[in-house]
């Protein structure tokens, strides 16, 4: 679909920004582009619709134990919470200080990791009996945006075209790849999710998700979710698409957005 290609490539010309339109500018990515590769395009079918809190500025999302786990952003409103799919009811398990802007979350073993936008800090919580207890912090350079895991390593975005492979024990960056679409770096990678053996990434300010080979950074697919939130559901506080979760056992994909009233289970359809 040409419109998908244009929307992704046009982002390369925009000033960088993250989970909020007020985010700071940064230099363009300069890492050399990877080799060209054919990318598939997908549309979607809504399988089910669930309630979502319009007070949740979604930054991180994952599915575990029958619940959706959500990390939210904004100063004074950043938290980690669970969501009951049926009712949309949230249970807040951790709150960040007003000085911090929460970002992506991911679970490795019995530990939950939470990024912050510009505080250069990853918070680590122990997960016991559905409760969170902060056990340590890690410092990292630059901004924190999205976070996911393959069950062993963490994968982190910082709003550029780069995805870092991170050791969860030390939070040291062990590898980096530049995400490219038809040989051109794709900036503004935001929330991440590991599905199968690929990373799915929201591209900030667009309705597109890119499916990325984590070894090469090559975009192998683009999922266009244009129109998934109906116009009548859009309010003045409604922000962009952001949030991908995967139920591996049920093979269910969930998506939502910042301050959206709905969360969707979708099936993707190749075009």
Q: What is the pLDDT of residue 33?
A: 36
Tell me the sheet residues that pair with 209: 202, 223
Angle at 260 between CA 119 and CA 159, to 5 degrees: 35
Residue 113 neighbours by CB under 8 Å, 6+ apart? 105, 106, 107, 122, 123, 124, 125, 147, 154, 168
Best CA proximity match to 203, nearest among 45, 47, 8: 8
Best CA proximity match to 104, nearest among 26, 167, 151, 156: 156
Token reading at 199: 């990373």
Q: What is the pLDDT of residue 36?
A: 53
**123 touches 111 (CB < 8 A):** no
Q: In this predicted model, what pLDDT tens digit does every residue of 132-142 receive, in sequence order?
A: 999 999 999 99
Mean of pLDDT values over 81-91: 91
Best CA proximity match to 90, nearest among 74, 75, 69: 69
* pLDDT higher than 90, residue 18: no
Q: In this predicted model, what pLDDT tens digit does every residue of 143-201 receive, in sequence order?
A: 999 999 999 999 999 999 999 999 999 999 999 999 999 999 999 999 999 999 999 99
**177 touches 136 (CB < 8 A):** no
Q: What is the pLDDT of residue 130?
A: 77
Which phi and psi angles does 71 have, rounded to 5°? -105, 130
Tell me the sheet residues that pair with 220: none
Q: How far is the CA of 184 from the CAs of 32, 179, 181, 238, in angstroms?
A: 9, 8, 5, 30
Q: In this predicted model, what pLDDT tens digit does every residue of 96-138 receive, in sequence order?
A: 999 999 999 999 999 999 999 999 999 999 988 778 999 999 9
* pLDDT higher than 60, residue 19: no
Q: In this predicted model, what pLDDT tens digit does every residue of 198-250 receive, in sequence order?
A: 999 999 999 999 999 999 999 999 999 999 999 999 999 999 999 999 999 99
Read off the DSSP letter of residue 27.
P
Q: What is the pLDDT of residue 37?
A: 60
- Got the DSSP string for 186-250? ---EEEEEEETTEEEEEETTSSEEEEE-TTT-BEEEEEE-TTSS-GGG--TT---EEEEEEETTT
* pLDDT higher than 70, residue 6: no
* pLDDT higher than 60, residue 265: yes
């Amino acid at each position: 679909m040409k419109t998908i290609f244009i929307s992704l490539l046009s982002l390369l010309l925009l000033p960088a920004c993250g989970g909020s339109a007020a985010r700071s500018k940064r230099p363009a990515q300069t890492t050399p582009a990877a080799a060209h590769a054919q990318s598939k395009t997908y549309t979607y079918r809504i399988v089910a619709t669930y309630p979502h809190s319009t007070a949740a500025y979604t930054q991180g999302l994952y599915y575990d134990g029958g619940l959706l786990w959500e990390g939210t952003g904004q100063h004074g409103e950043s938290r980690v919470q669970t969501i009951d799919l049926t009712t949309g009811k949230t249970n807040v398990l951790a709150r960040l200080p007003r000085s911090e802007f929460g970002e992506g979350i991911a679970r490795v073993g019995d530990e939950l990791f939470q990024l912050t936008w510009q505080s250069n800090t990853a918070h680590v919580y122990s997960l016991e009996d559905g409760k969170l207890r902060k056990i340590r912090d890690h410092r990292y350079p630059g901004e924190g945006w999205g976070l996911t895991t393959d069950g062993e390593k963490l994968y982190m975005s910082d709003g550029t075209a780069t995805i870092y492979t991170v050791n969860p024990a030390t939070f040291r960056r062990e590898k980096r790849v530049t995400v490219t679409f038809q040989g051109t770096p794709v900036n503004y990678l935001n929330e991440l999710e590991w599905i199968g053996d690929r990373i799915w990434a929201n591209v900030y300010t667009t309705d597109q998700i890119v499916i990325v080979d984590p070894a090469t950074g090559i975009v192998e697919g683009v999922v266009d979710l244009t129109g998934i939130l109906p116009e009548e559901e859009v309010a003045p506080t409604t922000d962009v698409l952001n949030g991908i979760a995967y139920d591996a056992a049920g093979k269910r994909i969930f998506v939502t957005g910042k301050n959206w009233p709905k969360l969707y289970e979708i099936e993707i359809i190749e075009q």
